[in-house]
Structure 1
Amino acid sequence: MSKGHELLRLSPVMPVVVIDEVADAVPVARALLAGGIRVIELTLRTPVALEAIERVASEVPEIVLGAGTVTTPEQAKQAADAGAKFLVTPGCTERVLEAAFATGLPFLPGAGTVSEAMRLAEQGLTALKFFPAEPSGGVAYLKAIAGPLPQLEFCPTGGITAQSAASYLALSTVGCVGGSWLTPKDALAAKDFDRITALAQEAAALA
């Protein structure tokens, strides 16, 4: 099993986390870990994201830390240098693909169409992020492509909720789902890390 596939086995839900205040990064990671979630995708969507990755890598080494929303070759290297243990991309250009390979880290490249998935499979990548999942057809789409592409395994992300996650996880080609509902903005704003732990416990129970 490739390292990409191993990432899909860590938790039924891979939290997709956006950190606006760097001081929140470590408490969020610890709250998720306390709830039984062993992996975190910390997205590069904010100016503090790389510093947040550095802090989590240093202070919460027990959690498997990934950098998400990697959209440029430079970000791939920066995330690796900051301490990320894996990378996640929303889509995949040739330059981003080359940069991700160059880091030596496992990564989940994003695919939203059959052709994109096939191109990535030609590169030996068979553990993929399916994004944006709900707008791209969701469960029905993944069922439809499982026939011609049974060797591919996905982490669907985008529009998935606590209520819809189980329907994705029931598919043989889905290893885990990505979700932002574990770290809602209002909980982060209120520093309600106990709520994040509770949401993580519910997500971990989907296994």
Structure 2
Amino acid sequence: MDKTQALDALFADVTLLPVISIEREADVLPLADALAAGGITTLEITLRTSLGLPAIELLRRERPQLRIGAGTVTNAAQFQAVEQAGAHFVVTPGITEELLQLGLRSRIPLLPGIATASEILAGYRLGYRRFKVFPAEVLGGAALLRSFAGPFKDVRFCPTGGIGQQNIDQYLALDNLLAVGGSWVTPKAAVAAADWAEITRLSRAATALAAAR
């Protein structure tokens, strides 16, 4: 299986990618369990906090049935660290030549972040066909992705940034969608209150929408 197929397989059943920043170590396992109970088993743990890397290691050890990606990876040292932690895939907020080359050499797939057609072309010429679009709503939302479908017919996208219950249906209707990313299924207030039932409820609602696309 090549890396494009590997990314497609991650979202073959549920086209959702919760983007998670861990603030408390104690939240890692119950949060992942709450999402899984709602049908979401592919997660992105960001490196926005110091607990990101340990959380990836913990989930890979304690919840091997889940598919754990590493997000907000911005340089070679982080890329190598998340590989060693056992991440199934890597997500970046943007692209550099260094990151694209690391993705080519890595044993796990890279989902590089783009904002423009020129950045798509930079990855496309190296063989990339799956991209994160960030920040999606600021850049033009679902209309932008529809525009990209013209010149990039074999490319699929994972938009993140500004997406929630109020507009997710616009993205789920896109033919060139890989997955919809965001934090609306893990609201900060629910995580802070350890309200795992609410996170499961939100996850079930999102997976129901995704299943109907």
TM-score (norm 1): 0.96
Q: Is the 8 A contact 1:11 1:204 kept in 2?
A: yes
Q: Is the 8 A contact 1:42 1:66 kept in 2?
A: yes
Tell me which residue corresponds to 1:200.
203
Of all paired residues, the percent bearing the same amino acid is 45
Deviations 1:107-143 (A, max 9, x none): 2111110010111111111011111100011111111
Taking the aligned partners of 1:26 and 1:144, their CA distance within structure 2 comes to 39
By how many angstroms is 1:198 displaced? Answer: 0.8
1:63 aligned onto 2:51: no
Tell me which residue corresponds to 1:43.
46
The alignment partner of 1:204 has SS state of helix
Q: Is the 8 A contact 1:153 1:175 kept in 2?
A: yes
Match of 1:135 among 135, 138, 163: 138
1:54 aligned onto 2:57: yes
Cα distance, 1:159–1:56 mapped onto 2, change above 3 Å: same
TM superposition outliers: structure 1 runs of 4+ over 4 Å: none
By how many angstroms is 1:100 displaced? Answer: 3.0
Cα RMSD over matched residues? 1.2
By how many angstroms is 1:98 displaced? Answer: 2.2
Gap regions ≥5 residues in structure 2: none
Tell me which residue corresponds to 1:24.
27
Matched residue pairs, number?
207
Taking the aligned partners of 1:29 and 1:88, their CA distance within structure 2 comes to 18
Taking the aligned partners of 1:55 and 1:22, their CA distance within structure 2 comes to 9
Cα distance, 1:79–1:10 mapped onto 2, change above 3 Å: farther
Tell me which residue corresponds to 1:172.
175
Match of 1:75 among 73, 78, 82: 78
1:33 aligned onto 2:36: yes
Taking the aligned partners of 1:156 and 1:10, their CA distance within structure 2 comes to 17
The alignment partner of 1:134 has SS state of helix
Taking the aligned partners of 2:81 and 2:205, their CA distance within structure 1 comes to 33
Taking the aligned partners of 2:22 and 2:106, their CA distance within structure 1 comes to 23
The alignment partner of 1:116 has SS state of helix
Gap regions ≥5 residues in structure 1: none
Taking the aligned partners of 1:103 and 1:30, their CA distance within structure 2 comes to 29
The alignment partner of 2:157 has SS state of strand
TM-score (norm 2): 0.93
Q: Is the 8 A contact 1:76 1:103 kept in 2?
A: no
By how many angstroms is 1:10 displaced? Answer: 4.2
Q: Is the 8 A contact 2:20 2:43 kept in 1?
A: yes
1:162 aligned onto 2:165: yes
